Amino acid sequence: METPADLDARIIKLISQVVPVKPEQIKRGDRLREDLGMDSVCSMELLSMLAEELDLDVGVEDAAGIRTVADTIALAARFLRAKAAA
Amino acid sequence: MSAAAVQPVEVAEPDVMGALLTGVERYLRSEVDAAQIDREGAVPARVLAGLGELGVFGVTIPQRYGGAGLRLTDACRLAAALARADRSIATTVGLHLGLGTRPLVAFGAEGLKQRYLPRLASGEAIAAFATTEANAGSDLSRLATTALAEGAQLVVNGEKLFVTNGRLAKVFTITAATPGLGGAQRGSSLVLLESGDPGLSVGREERKLGLKGSSTAPLTIDGVRIEPERIIGEPGRGADQLHHVLAWGRTLMSAGCCGTARAALVKAIEHTASRRQFGRTLDAQPVVREHLALMGARLAAMEALVHDTASLEDDVPGLLQRSLAAKVFGSDGASYVVDTALQLFGGLGFIEESGMPLLLRDVRITRIFEGANDVLLTQLGTHLATAPPPRRALAPLVGPDAFALACSADVVAAALDAHREELSARHKIGLLRQTRLLNRLGRAVAWSEALDATVRAVDARRTTSRGAAALFSEVAARDVANALAAPFGEEVVSSALADLEPGA
Ligand SMILES: Cc1cc2nc3c(=O)[nH]c(=O)nc-3n(C[C@H](O)[C@H](O)[C@H](O)COP(=O)(O)OP(=O)(O)OC[C@H]3O[C@@H](n4cnc5c(N)ncnc54)[C@H](O)[C@@H]3O)c2cc1C
C-alpha cells in the first residue's frame, strides 16, 4: 500500500523527468512555473504523464488551476482515492 | 495588485488617432518609397525622424510621459496604415509600441518610466525586445541568459538572436533567468538595458529574405552590471509578464498583416481591372472574380478579428487567448492574399517592378516571428481543451442585418464545442499530449473566432461589406469542418516518414 510519502516521491520523480531539476531539490511548496521553470505546455504534459503513470481517470478540465507541486500531489491523491473507492 | 497585473493607462480623446492617421498617411504617401527601402536595406533616418515628429512612437505611451495615451485598437489602426505603405516601417514602429515599450508601460516602476518613457515617446530613443536565444526559440522556458545578484548589483550575461530594431535601439528589454529573485527558484525577469551599457554589444545586421529595412541583429551581453531597479516590474515574474507583452506584440503584428493584405488586394483589383486577356479584362473572368471576392472576404474577417482582439486590452486573459487566434489567422490570411494577388499579376507578379515580390518576401516572416504559427495553434487548442471560454449564442444578441450570419457562426461554434467535448471524453487528460489534435482544434478555434468577430463587425456596422462577411461565413464553416476532421493516422505518418531517410 502506497503511503503519502511514497506518492510524494513518485510524483517528484516524475516532475524531475520533465524539468532539469534533481528530485532532491524539488519541494512540495515549489510553484511549477516560477520555481521549476515549467511553461504551461510543460505543466500540462506533466499532468497527462501523471495520469498515465498512475492509471487515473483525470479529466482535461482538472488540469486548470494546478500551480504547485502540492497541487499536483493533491490532484493525484484525490483521483487515487476515487479509484480505490470505485 | 498581483505581480503581472497591468497598471491602468489614461484614456485619450477618441478622435486623436483619426487626426494622427490623416497626417501619417499623407506623410507616408509623399516621403516613403518601399522599393527604395528594400534596395537600400534601411528606413532612411529622416523618415524615422519625420514619423517621430508626427508622434508615431508615442501613441501608446501615457500622456504624462509625453505620449498620446491611446488604446491598443488605435495603435492597430496605425500599424495597419504603416504596413500598407511599407512593412519594414510597420515592423520598426510596431515592435517599439508593442514588445519594446509595453513592458515598461504596463509593469515598470515610476522611476524607470520617468527615466525612459519620454525619450521613447518622442522617438529620440527606439526600443527593442530580446528573448530569442540559440536554444530558446519557440521554447521560451530554456533561457540561458542570466541576471545574477553580485553585491548591490545585477550582472547580466547571455546572447540574444534576431533582435528587431537591434542596430537602431537605445533601450532593450531582455528576458533573463533570475534564480532566487522574488522567491522564484527558476524564475525569469524582464530587464532593461541601454545601448551604452558597458559589456552590451550589437552584432552585424542579418541578411534577410524580406523586411530588409527593418534592423535585425544579435545581442551579446557580457558581464553587464546594472542596478536592480532596472528589473521591470516584480522580479521573478518574467514569464507572466512575457505572456502579456507577447499578446500585445502579436495583436499589433496581426494589424500589420491587415495592412499588407490590403496593399496586395488593392494592387490585384487595379491590375485585374486593366489587364485584358481572352477579349476581356481579367476581373471579368469568373474564376478571377471568385479569387478577388475570397481575398476581400478574408481581409474583412482579419480586420474584424484584430479589432475584437485589440478591444480586449483590459481583459488580459482574453487578450492572451484571442491574440493567438488573431496572429495565426492574420499571418496566414496575409500570406494567402499576397500569394493570390501575385498569381493574378501573372508573370509580371514575379518581376520586382510590380511590387509583388517585395510584398511576398515581407509577408513570409509573419508566420514565424512573434511565435511560429503551429506552436501558437497548439497553445490555442490547449486553452480550449482545459478552460473552454464561455460563449454566448450570437443570434439573440444581434440586429436583423447580422442575424443570418450570427446563426451560421453559432452553428460553427456549436460543432466546435461538441467536438471538444467528444475529444475530452475520449482522451481525458491524455488529450494534452495529443498535440496534433490540439493543433487542429486551435485552427478551428481561430477560424470560429474570426467568424464571430466578423458577425460583430457587421452588427456594429464597422464593416460596409455584408457580402464579404457572408462569403467568409461559408469559408469559415468549411475550414472549421476540415480542421475538425480526424488527423492522418499515426501509422500512415510514421511509415511515410520512414521513407524519408536522410540523403534519400
Ligand atoms: C526577422 C526576424 C525578427 C525577429 N525579431 C525578434 C525580436 O525582436 N525579439 C526576439 O526575441 N525574437 C525575434 N525573432 C525570433 C523569432 O521570434 C523566432 O525565430 C521564432 O519565435 C521561432 O523560433 P525559432 O526560430 O527558434 O524556431 P524553432 O523553435 O527552432 O522552430 C522552428 C519550426 O519548428 C516548428 N516547431 C517548433 N516547435 C514546435 C511545436 N512545439 N509544435 C509544432 N511545431 C513546432 C515550427 O514550424 C517552427 O517554425 C525574430 C526573428 C526574425 C527572423
User: What CATH number has the domain bearing residue B325?
Assistant: 1.20.140.10
> For strand B127-130 and strand B276-277, is the pairing parallel, antiparallel, or unpaired?
unpaired
Number of domains in chain A: 1
Q: Is B192 in the pocket of ligand 1 (CB under 6 A)?
A: no
B369 and B304 co-located in one domain: yes
3-state secondary structure of B66: coil
Residue that is last in its domain, among B190, B214, B234: B234
B331 lines ligand 1 (CB under 6 A): no
Q: Which of B243, B321, B386 best tests the A interface by mutation, with the highest count of A CBs <10 A?
A: B386
pLDDT given for residue B10 in this prediction: 56
Q: Contact B429/A45, CB-based, under 8 Å?
A: no
The answer to whether B233 contacts chain A (CB < 8 Å) is no
Is residue B503 domain-resident?
A: no
Would you call B211 helix, strand, or coil by DSSP? coil
Give the range of the structural domain holding residue A59, as residue numbers without chain letter: 4-85
Give the residue on B whose Cα is nearest the Cα of A58.
B429
Q: Of B125, B157, B183, which marks where a domain is finished? A: B125
Q: What one-letter code names the amino acid at B52?
A: G
Q: How is B287-302 classified by DSSP, letter by letter?
A: HHHHHHHHHHHHHHHH
Whether the per-residue pLDDT at A41 is higher than 80: the answer is no
Structurally, chain B folds into a number of domains equal to: 3
Rounded to the nearest angstrom, the minimum Cα separation between B429 and chain A is 4
Do B198 and B223 lie in one domain? The reply is yes
Classify residue B489: in a domain, yes or no: no
Q: What is the CATH number of the domain that holds B87?
A: 1.10.540.10
Mean pLDDT across chain B: 95
- How far does A82 lie from chain B, in Å, by closest CA? 16
**Number of Cβ pairs < 8 A linking chain A and chain B:** 77
Nearest CA to ligand 1 atom 45: B375
Chain B environment of A38 (Cβ under 8 Å): 141
Residue B374 Cβ inside 6 Å of ligand 1? The answer reads: yes
Give yes or no: B370 in active site: yes
| Domain with B186 in it | 129-234
Does the C-beta of B158 come closer than 6 Å to ligand 1?
A: no
Cross-chain CB nearest to A37 (options B186, B379, B429): B186
* Confidence category of residue A50, pLDDT binned at 50, 70, 90: confident
Does residue B501 form part of some domain? no
Does residue B193's CB lie within 6 angstroms of at least one atom of ligand 1? no
- Residue B304's H or E segment, with its range, is helix B286-310
Q: Point out the domain boundary residue: B103, B125, B147.
A: B125
Q: What is the DSSP string of B68-134?
A: ----HHHHHHHHHHHHHH-HHHHHHHHHIIIIITHHHHHH--HHHHHHHHHHHHHTSS-EEEE--BT
Is B480 found in the same domain as B404?
Answer: yes
Q: What is the rounded distance in angstroms from the CA atom of residue A75 to the CA atom of residue B326? A: 34
Cβ contacts of B458 within 8 Å, gap of 6 or more: B398, B401, B402, B405, B466, B469
Does a structural domain hold residue B254?
yes
Residues B247, B311 within the same domain: yes
Q: What is the 3-state secondary structure (H, E, C) of chain A?
A: CCCHHHHHHHHHHHHHHHCCCCHHHCCCCCECCCCCCCCHHHHHHHHHHHHHHCCCCCCHHHHCCCCEHHHHHHHHHHHHHHHHHC
Whether residue B267 sits in one domain with residue B151: no
Note the ipTM here: 0.83
Identify whether residues B112 and B184 lie together within a single domain: no
CATH number, residue A24: 1.10.1200.10
Q: How would DSSP label each residue in B353-405?
A: GGSHHHHHHHHHGGGTTTS-HHHHHHHHHHHHHHSPPP---SGGGS-HHHHHH
More confident residue, A68 or B9: A68
Strand-pair category, B171-177 with B127-130: parallel
- Assess if residue B23 is contained within a domain: yes
Choosing from B150, B370, B421, B490, the catalytic residue is B370
Contact B85, B28 (CB under 8 A): yes
Specify the CATH number for the domain of residue B145. Answer: 2.40.110.10
Same domain for B403 and B467 = yes
pLDDT in tens, chain B (504 residues): 344 555 655 554 567 899 999 999 999 999 999 999 999 999 999 999 999 999 999 999 999 999 999 999 999 999 999 999 999 999 999 999 999 999 999 999 999 999 999 999 999 999 999 999 999 999 888 899 999 999 999 999 999 999 999 999 999 999 999 999 998 888 999 999 999 999 999 999 999 999 999 999 999 999 999 999 999 999 999 998 999 999 999 999 999 999 999 999 999 999 999 999 999 999 999 999 999 999 999 999 999 999 999 999 999 999 999 999 999 999 999 999 999 999 999 999 999 999 999 999 999 999 999 999 999 999 999 999 988 888 999 999 999 999 999 999 999 999 999 999 999 999 999 999 899 999 999 999 999 999 999 999 999 998 778 999 999 999 999 999 999 999 999 999 999 998 887 765
Angle at B431 between CA B429 and CA B432, to 5 degrees: 80
Shortest-distance atom of ligand 1 to CA B139: 29
3-class DSSP state for residue B180? coil
